[in-house]
Amino acid sequence: MKLMSFNVNGLRACINKGFYDFLKKEDPDILGIQETKMQEGQAVIDNMGYYTYMNSAIKKGYSGTMVFTKKKPLSVHYGLTSGSHNDEGRTITLEYEDFYYVTLYTPNSKDGLLRIPYRMEFEDALREYLLELKKNKHVILCGDLNVAHNEIDLTNPETHHFDAGFSDEERNKFSELLNAGFVDTFRELYPDVVKYSWWSYRALSRVRNIGWRIDYFVVDKEFMPRVKDSLILNDIEGSDHCPVALIIE
């Protein structure tokens, strides 16, 4: 199976930049997208033969997630435990026979880490939710997690230690998730590879490859033997992020 994740930074804009061509060419079994920035009905979506599920933020033009899947899931859940933390449409969970697929758009802590208290609350709730899922079957988490975990995961780390996405608080929360029994699949398979998944629109950052790796596939440790590859497809455009993919047996 090919599983994919893509922060489209506005689905309507990405559609105009070739989203459907990307979907047809890559032909994923499941695709989670983040930052749709739209409510249902704001655009005509071509399902391309997929089942589709959307979780929109209450605030228009903000956040939001969506999933395209070839196989109808056993169940679909929006939000975290008991549907909490769902005002911003940040999570969708699809249940299949032997795993849960969770697509996630983690809150940005904002300039000056103004939203770090909420980010920490969200991270704790997320970890609790994933551990509850893990009691029942395997867990595959994907999306824009808004953190570069280690210095290898961004350009010029020495200048970003107090910035959103590379603060000690955010990095430590990601470590807590891994220590709870989960694996960063790309870094597990490619411990020394420098590759990014997001570039600022400023200063020709993508052309100069000044970027961050903040888009992930994370799985529980027991699922890792089924992972055949974890990919960052940084030749695919249409957003300030590029897609990431997980190949499983």
Catalytic residue list? 105, 144
The span from the CA of 131 to the CA of 182, in Å, is 10
Please enumerate, as own/partner, the contacts of 68-75 that have beta carbons within 8 Å and a separation of 24 or more.
Answer: 68/23, 68/28, 68/30, 68/31, 68/33, 69/29, 69/30, 69/31, 69/94, 69/101, 70/29, 70/30, 71/29, 71/30, 71/96, 73/101
The span from the CA of 146 to the CA of 107, in Å, is 7
Give the sign of the dihedral formed by CA 102, CA 108, CA 208, CA 174: negative
- Unique residue bearing structure tokens 């599920």: 53
C-beta of residue 143 within 8 angstroms of C-beta of residue 65: yes
Nearest residue to 104 (alpha-carbon basis) of 87, 89, 83, 82? 89
